[in-house]
Amino acid sequence: MPGLVQLERAYHDRGVQFLGLTGAPADRAQAFIAELGVSYPVLVGAWPTFDAFGVRSVPATYLVDPSGEVVATGLGDVEEALEARLGG
């Protein structure tokens, strides 16, 4: 997760929005978010969203384009995938 925090900071000005999802209870999630310095939105109690995306284990990473289409999943190198999509 610290890597995603760094990527969010690096790509924010290029229009990339990160969103975290957690099924953890709110108090545990808030402590974890604060500890890591997560600056992007995190949806707590996200089980319905996990189901909608077919998430079976975490962590899971999805790249969603501006139209809402999932364009990549299970990304090994998130930065490489972002650069490929952004043309950089």
Q: Residue ranges of the domains in the chain?
A: 2-82
Which region, left, alpha or beta, applies to residue 62 given φ > 0 means left and ψ of -120 to 50 means alpha? beta
CATH number of 2-82: 3.40.30.10
pLDDT tens string 46-87: 888 888 888 888 878 888 888 888 888 876 788 888 888 888
**Alpha carbon 32 to chain centroid distance?**
15
pTM of the model as a whole: 0.76
